[in-house]
Every structure is written in C-alpha cells, then in structure tokens.
Structure 1
Amino acid sequence: MKRGALAVVFGAIGVLAVAIVLLQTGLWVDVVGVGEYDEGTVTVYENGNAAATETAASGTATPTDSPTATDAPATTVAVRGNESLPLAAVEVRISDTFEQRYTGLSDTESLGPDEGMLFVHDEEGQYAYVMRDMDFPLDIIFIDANGTITTIHHAPLPPEGTSESELARYEGRGKYVLEVNRGWANRTGVSVGDTVTLPAGVE
C-alpha cells in the first residue's frame, strides 16, 4: 500500500476515534453548540378544565373571589381552588432540538422559583431523562400531546462521582417535558392529570 493511501486510512481512523469520543462524552455539544433558545410561558390548570383554561388564558374573565388576579405577573402562582384560575405559571426556555435537549439545564447554575425549561419532542412517546452534570435537583414533568400531565418525578442530584451509565433514569410518556426546581409541583399543587397550556408556537 502506498504511503499516501496509508495516510488517508490513518487519518480516517483518527477522525472516527475523535468523533466517538465526542459522541460518548457529550463534548460534541460544545463543538456544535445548542443555538438560541426560544422563550415562553407554561400555565397549568386543574384537571378536566379545558373550557376554563381558554377563558383564563385569554384574560377575558376576572374571578369574583380574586380581584387582583389579573394584575399578577405571569410567574406568580395563582390561587388554587377556583376553576377559572391557573395553579401555576412558569417562564421557560424552549428546548426543541436534539442538541438543546441533550444539554438541558446542565449549563444552568440555578432557576428562579417559577422558571424552567420545556423540552419539545417531535412526537409523543416513552422517554427517559437523566440528571447529567446538574447543579440543582429537579421536578421532571411529562406532558402528553393533549397537554395532560402523565408523570411527575422529584429528582435529586446524583451522588458525586456517578458515571453516565449509573445515572438514574426518570421515565415517562409524553411529547413535552417540563423541568423546574424540585418541589415546585408540591408547592403549587400541580399533579398528574392537570392540564397544561403551552407557549404560543409550540407544537
């Protein structure tokens, strides 16, 4: 075999080796980047409340027992119990590419009380999330294509030194996954079966 051909073969092997390392370690995200995140608001309503969801989201109705509700900022947790009021609202970054979903919140040091990330998959299915390189614990909330919460996990930080293969897998069925600070679901009263209104433009 000629020297030039050998150089091509060894060069290809080297490129392949680098690609494997980048894929296995996730470093390829640093190379490719995650692009810009869109932003929006996720609002959660008590289960079985589709009609009330539309009214409250449009802002056309003012609940009689909460005259200041319409003055509240979008991130304020609303009063629970009145069917026309949301349980909670979360300002989110929208993660809808593979690169963004892989990185998730691992490059985020902290979240505000009503901040989070909304992961958008191409189709509804069974998915698993892990706490890769996270600095804080999470509630991981799976939402189906109809906007119904199907599963809520309260995920702690993995023990220090946990390898990628040893990370706990938090599984659920859905098209969307909402990640917020751990304990957010308990604090707001959000539970499985509640209805979620997604940001405009999210499909």
Structure 2
Amino acid sequence: MASRRLSLLVAALLIAAVVLAFAYQLGLLAYLTGTEDRATVTISEEGGETLATVEAEVADTPPERYTGLSDHESLGEHEGMLFVFGSEDTQSFVMRDMAFPIDMIFVGEDGTITTIHEAPVEDDDSSYRGEAKWVLEVNYGYAAEHGIEEGDQVGIEYR
C-alpha cells in the first residue's frame, strides 16, 4: 500500500513538472507569476560614461513580444520597450502595424550592443535581425542623437 502511494506521488510530481515546463515554454508561467513589467535601461560607453537612460516596458512573454509597440501611438523622449528572450540567439523583428518609426538596439547576453537598426514606419515589409538576448526599441534617431553605437554596454534594472 505504501509503495502504491509513493508511486502515485512520484507520478503526480512528474506530471506537475511536465506541465510547468510546458507552461514556461509558452510564457504562461511568467504571465501567471507576475513578471516584471518595467525596467530602467542604462546605456554606457566602454569607458563607463552614461550615454542614455530609458524607462522601458518589458515584453517577456510570446504574446507581449508579438504585439510589441504596435498598440502604442508614440513613445516619450526617454521611453521604450525591452524585449527579453531566454538566451542569446538571432532575433528577427518587423514593423507590423506600427504607427511611428523606431530604432532597434540588439543587446547580447554579455550586455554589449551587437546591432542597431533604424526602422522607418513606411518600411513595414522589412525584417531587422541581430544577435541578442534583449532588444530595446526607442524613438527613431534616438541612438544617433545620444551617440549610442555597437560595442556600447547596456545595464538593466527590472522593477
């Protein structure tokens, strides 16, 4: 009788582990546990001088990443959206249903900017790619205006 109960307990734990793993892959676990929805993103030169600080919405679930900024009419001067992925990989972005142009700043796992794209709203068929664990979207021209370049460092503080 005790071995049957133990077997049932082990089976229940295995099923729970599989369900949690599946939920994690879908982004449901992050949604249900209340992920961080804001972050302060600081961009600095290699020497440490701060170039810009952005207050960003966090998109860290598949539905949030799919929608992105397409449900926004505009961004404030130092506002953006930070897309968060599980690990560094080639990420591809499009300007689906966007109302305004943006810069896309791709950031590697080590916090180094790998690629910067300027994405005009008229160019909604283009795909913008880069190696990244994080992608920060800000107003069009923001990177150039603040002297942000590939190789600069990014720090992220979630709130």
Aligned pairs for 1:51-200 (under 5 A) are 52=48, 85-158=49-122, 167-200=125-158
The offset of 1:44, in angstroms, is 0.4
For these two proteins, the number of residue pairs brought into alignment is 127
RMSD: 1.9
Larger Rg: 1
**TM-score, normalised relative to structure 2:** 0.75
Structure 1's consecutive aligned runs of 4 or more residues displaced over 3 angstroms after TM superposition are none
**How far apart, in 2, do the equivalents of 1:146 and 1:138 lie?**
24
SS state at 1:99 partner: helix
Name the amino acid aligned to 2:97.
Answer: D
Contact 1:37-1:95 at 8 Å conserved across structures:
no
Structure 1 unaligned spans of 5+: 1-32, 53-84
**How far apart, in 2, do the equivalents of 1:108 and 1:129 lie?**
16
SS state at 1:105 partner: helix
The offset of 1:36, in angstroms, is 7.8
SS state at 1:190 partner: coil
**How far apart, in 2, do the equivalents of 1:200 and 1:170 lie?**
25
Where does residue 45 of structure 1 map in the other structure?
44
Contact 1:105-1:134 at 8 Å conserved across structures:
yes
Structure 2 unaligned spans of 5+: 1-30
**TM-score, normalised relative to structure 1:** 0.59
**How far apart, in 1, do the equivalents of 2:140 and 2:157 lie?**
22
SS state at 1:106 partner: helix
Q: Percent identity?
A: 50
Q: Which structure's residues are more often strand, by fraction? A: 2
